[in-house]
Each structure stands twice: as C-alpha cells, then as structure tokens.
Amino acid sequence: MNDKTHFHSQTRSSRELESLLHLIDAVSGVGIYEVDLHTNTIYFSEGMYKIFGEDYNSFVPSLDWIDGRSNPDDAMIIRRILERAAIDKDPYFYTRRIKRKDGSWRTVESHGKVISDKGGNAIKFFGVVKDITEKEKGIDDTLERKEAEAANAKNLAILEQSEQVASIGSWEYDLSSRTTLWSKGMYVLFGITPGTEVSPQLYLDFVTEKDKLKAENLIDKITNKFVPIDEHIVIQTAERKKCLHIKAVPYSNEFGEKIKMLGVDIDISERKEAEAKLRQAEEEKQNAILNAVMETQEEERRRIAETLHNEFGQLLTATKFQIRGKAREAEKLLDSAIQLVRSISHELMPPILQDYGLEIALKDLFDSKLPESNIKYYVHITGLKKRINQMTEIAVFRIIQEIVNNIVKHSKATRVDAMIERRQEDIFFRISDNGIGVKETDLITKRKSFGLNYIYNRVHLLKGEIIFDSKPGKGCSLIVTIPYKEI
C-alpha cells in the first residue's frame, strides 16, 4: 500500500503524545512545566530536571526553589510577567538566567500560556523551556473521556510550541497501513508546503550525496527493521543545508506488538556551526602557540650562533695568532676548533635559509653534510623556488636537517635519495638511505636516542603525517607530509 500523508490530529492517544514529548525532552533539551495557581504546585518534565542539572524526580519543585536558582533580577521581573499574564490571560515569554547543580550558569527562555476555568479565572500556567546559552555566547487510563481529550489538546499545543522553539519536527510511521504522519514542524524543517505527500523515502530527495548511504539505512530501519534510531544526516533544502539529529523508537500496543515508529527530527545546524567555530578558534590558538615556540627556539639558536661566531670564534682566532709558529700541534687543534665553531654556528642559524629560501638552503644542507661522510646522494626538489610561510620554511628545514644528521650519525649508509616537492596544499618529502636500518623494537624503545622524537613531535605540531619504514640491513625511509600556507 502506498504511503500517505497526514497531519497530527487530536485522534492521537495520550500515550502516543507523551511518547513524542519524551523524545523531545531527550533529543532537544526542551523542558515542559505546569503550575497550578490554586495550590502553587509545579510539575516538571524530565527535561526540566535536566535543564537544572538535577536527577529526575529528585525533589519537588516550587516557585521559591526556582527563584533561588535564578538570577535575583530575573526572578523579580519574571514574577511580574507571570502576575500580569494571570490577569490578562495572554500568552507570555521571558528569559531567565539559572544556576545548575554543578554551579554553572545557563540562560533559558520560556514560552507559556494561561489556562482559565469556565468563569474566566486563571487556574494554570503551561510552558516550555529551552536552554539558549550557546546561541547567545502521562495521563492515567482511568480518567474520563472528556478529561483525556482536554489533556490531548494541551499536549498538542505544547508539542507544536516545542517544535517551533526547538526547531524540530515529529513524525510517525504506521507499520500496518504504511502511512506517514508529519507534524507542521517537519514541513518547516524540509521547507515544503504542508499537505505535500511524504514518506520515509523523502529523505533521499533531500540528503546530501555524502550521507546518502546513511539515509538508505535510516529508511530501512523505519520501514523494515522497526528498531530504535539515533542518526545524524545532512539535508539540502531550498533555503540552506541543515544537519538533522533523527531519533525514533518503535511503539507497541497493549499486546507488545510493534505497530508504529515514533520519531523526531531536530535541526542542530547552529550547534554544529558553533562547534566548528570553537574548533577553528582552538586550532588558531594552537597555531599561535606553535609559532611562538618556534620563534623563541629560532631566536635562541640565533643568539647562540652569534655568540659562538662573534665571541668564541674570535677568541680562538686570537689565540691562534698568539701561538703561531710556536706550537704546531696546538695550532692544528685550534684550526679544527675554529672550523667546528663555524660549522655549529652555521647549523644553528643558516643565513642562506633566510636570504635565499628553502630550496637553496636544502641543497646547501645536502651538499655540505653528506660528502664529508663519503655518502653519495641524489636530491630532487620541485616547487620551492617561490617562498612560503617563514615558520613553515624553518620547520621543514629543521626536520630535514635532523633526518640528515641522523643518517650521518647512525645509518652507516653509502647512498641517500631524497625527493622534496611542494604540492597544492602541502609539502611532501621522502628521504631514503641504504644503511643498516632499525629494528621495529628499537624504533619504539630507542626513538629518543635516534633523534626521532624531535622529528615526530615537530611533524605532529605542524598537523602533518609521517611514515617510517625500516628493516635491519635494508636501510630506512621517511615519508612526511606537512600542510602549508602561502606568504
């Protein structure tokens, strides 16, 4: 039988409505309350207890308790709003700052209506409460038929108001007749005209290509498997993309037979956008810290290099002139010391990197380090003639410098092959040698002694990827990918 479209109507049972309200509590963080103006008793839904950070039914709520957990200014203003609403019999709205059990402060908003008796006297408040902090920074079966119908009308009104406040829609799928019921909120979510024929297959018409398989599985759970659903999908409406959190449960009759699927769809796009902005801010913070650390390290290297070259190097040179012709062996030692100081100073702060860029500096690194250790090498560098972000240049140079130093000190290699290239959004390099290699156990236990910790940590800080491949007697190969930004 073909699926058909229907609106929610008052023919729904109280139990069905309460099931939907319970789902709304669970998914959207909305709470529902009722205040009896004659007895001053208050009913809290499970969602209301959650909003205050309390366990369900752990205490009996009262107006004084609510005011005690509210900002004093808000409590006084809201008392006046409720007093005026009771006199005028008009719907009311307010925002309130509340203190949760854990001491944190939250901002909530409430939409409510006044219920009057036949004489026109206000007897109750009904309202729905939603936590809006991130946006700004059951009926007994023994009741008589007329009482049940009145309660149904109240639940329907609260349901529609809850959907509007929380940007949600509710639906049901009848397993025997294959009919689909949508609330007004569902039509609003999908941006289609109320009354349009709908079915679970409609998800496929709106879902993005990336989430198509999710939508197919969702439809299968609704129409065939009849199992609880807790899923997230992204749909594309005429207005914009929306991220929906879909939660549903099977509904059984008094014999325990599954007869319907009851569900709610909630638009969590704003929350996802807020999370994305938070992640971006955190990434920017980490990048700022990384740049500060790298700049501090490079400044310290520069200072040490200048001290070695300008002070210690000059001291050694002066000493050499003092003993020239008097002690040939000492003079030779001083020549070696002077050359060592110059070499260390050059490694600490190679001026060629700052003056000519990464490509020339890397070629100079290989040309100066490997021949003196009798290591043959082949280096292929592409795409680095154009300068990139200075901190990225320094970071890439330091990583490759450490790899070359490790090869010279530990590998016993006779040949090195290096390919270094700038691609569209990253710098990729692979450096291999034909040395003695490293055991897998040594790679884990002796990473620090091999100088690999520095390489791994620096690549991780740059949000790059690294692959280390080595076997005893078969050399080593390091493959590194590092994202970069243009100057």
**DSSP secondary structure, 365-433, as one string:** HHHHHSGGGT-EEEEEEES-SS-B-HHHHHHHHHHHHHHHHHIIIII--SEEEEEEEE-SSEEEEEEEE
Q: Are strands 180-182 and 168-174 parallel, antiparallel or unpaired?
A: antiparallel
Below-70 pLDDT ranges, the chain: 1-29, 136-167, 287, 290-350, 440-451, 485-487
Question: Are 408 and 467 spatial neighbours (Cβ–Cβ below 8 Å)?
Answer: no
Q: How far apart are the first and last CA of the chain?
A: 63
Question: Are 239 and 220 spatial neighbours (Cβ–Cβ below 8 Å)?
Answer: no
CA-CA distance, 416 to 437, in Å (whole number)?
13
Question: Are 431 and 478 spatial neighbours (Cβ–Cβ below 8 Å)?
Answer: yes
* Block residue for tokens 């700022």: 288
Buried b (16+ CB within 10 A) or exposed e, 25-51: bbbbbbbbbbbeeeeeebebbbbbbbb
* Block residue for tokens 């190679």: 350
pTM above 0.75, yes or no: no
DSSP secondary structure code for residue 211 in this structure: G
pLDDT at 143: 42
CB atoms within 10 A of CB 308: 20
Consecutive H or E run containing 305:
helix 269-306
- φ, ψ of residue 80 in degrees (nearest 5): -65, -40
Question: Are 56 and 194 spatial neighbours (Cβ–Cβ below 8 Å)?
Answer: no
In this structure, what token pair is assigned to residue 405? Answer: 């130093």
Angle between helices 358-369 and 390-406 (to 10 degrees): 10
